[in-house]
Amino acid sequence: MVKQFSYSQGLLALAISFLAFSLFKFTLHLPDIINVIDKTTRTVDLVSPKVDNIVNEIALIRLEVGKVRALVSQQTPAILSQVQASLPVVQQVVAESEYYSRQLPALLTQLTKIEQQVGKLQASMPAILKRIDAVVKTTNNTTVEASHWRPHSTRYLEEIALSRDYIPQYLSRIEHTVEDAKTVGKEASSGLVSGFFKGMITLPFEMVAGLTEIVDKDSRSAKYLTAQDIALMQEKVVALLNDNNQTKSVWQNVNSGNRGTIIKGETTTRNNQQCLNVIFNNHFGKDKETLNELMCVDDKGLWKVI
C-alpha cells in the first residue's frame, strides 16, 4: 500500500528543520554568552564585598537624617515664631515701599525741573565766566594798586604811632589851655569847647576845667583814646555826677571805635568836701583798661578830679 504525501507532514518537517537550524545558530553563540556570564560573575564577586559597606553607610546616613529631622522638628517652633514676629516688619517695609513708590512720580518731576535748571545754568555759564574773568581782572588791578599803596600805608602807620605817643603831651596842653580859659570871660565860659576838641562837647569852660585829669597821662587810655573820646567822657561824667538817680553811664565814639562805661563808686569826704570814687572802664581796639578817679565837688558846685 503506497502512502500519500501530506502537506501537513511537509510543513512539520520544514518546522523541525528550521528549529534544528535555530538551535545550531544558538550553539554558535554559546561561547560568547558563556564569556559574558563569566565576566558578570567576576564583577558580581568584586562588588559583593562592598555591598555590606554600602549598606552600613546607608544605615549611618539614615541615622544622621533622623537626627537632622529631630533637630529640625525642635527648632521649627522657634523659626516659626521668628517668622511670625518678622511679619509686621515685613508689612511695614512693604507699606513704606508702596509710599515711596507713590512719591516716585513727584520725585521724577522734581528731577526733571532740576535738569531744566541745570540746563539753563549751563547755558548761562559763558556769561558767568565772562563776569568772573572781569572780576578777576578788577581784583588783579586792585591788588596792583594796593601794592602801590603799601609803602604809603606803612608811613601812615608810623605817623599814627607817633601821634599816639604825643597824645599825653596834647592832654597836658589841654589842661593848661582849659585852666587859662577861665579868664576869657562870661561870654567864652558859656560857649562851646571847640578848637582842639573840634566842636564835639557843649559844656561851660568852668565845668570842663576840673575834668581834664579823668584820664591819667601815664595810662594806656591816654595813649590810645582820642581827644574826641575824652570829650565824650567829660560830657557823660558831668551828667552822671549831677543825676542822683543814675549810677552808670555809657559812651561810644563811632569815629574812633572806642567805647567805655562810667560807674559811680563809694561816697566819701575829703577836706570837708563831698567826694565820689568814679570807675572808668575804657575799651580801645582789642585792649581795655580800668581807671579809678576820686572826684569832689567844690564850693561852686563843680566837680573836679582830686
Entry pTM: 0.37
pLDDT for position 183: 38
| pLDDT tens digits, one per residue of 57-89 | 888 888 888 888 888 888 888 888 888 888 888
Phi-psi region of 230 (alpha: psi -120 to 50; beta: other; left: phi over 0): alpha
Q: Which long-range contacts (CB under 8 A, 24 or more apart) does 194-198 make?
A: 196/170, 196/227, 197/227, 197/228, 197/231, 198/227, 198/228
| Pairing verdict, β 259-270 and 248-252 | antiparallel
pLDDT higher than 90, residue 248: yes
| pLDDT tens digits, one per residue of 34-62 | 888 888 888 877 877 777 788 888 888 88
| pLDDT tens digits, one per residue of 188-215 | 333 334 333 444 455 665 566 667 788 9
User: CB 13: neighbour CB atoms within 10 A?
Assistant: 10
| pLDDT tens digits, one per residue of 160-179 | 665 555 555 555 555 444 44
User: CB 241: neighbour CB atoms within 10 A?
Assistant: 19
What residue ranges do the domains of the chain occupy? 160-305
Q: How confident is the model at residue 260 (pLDDT cuts 50, 70, 90)?
A: very high
pLDDT higher than 90, residue 186: no
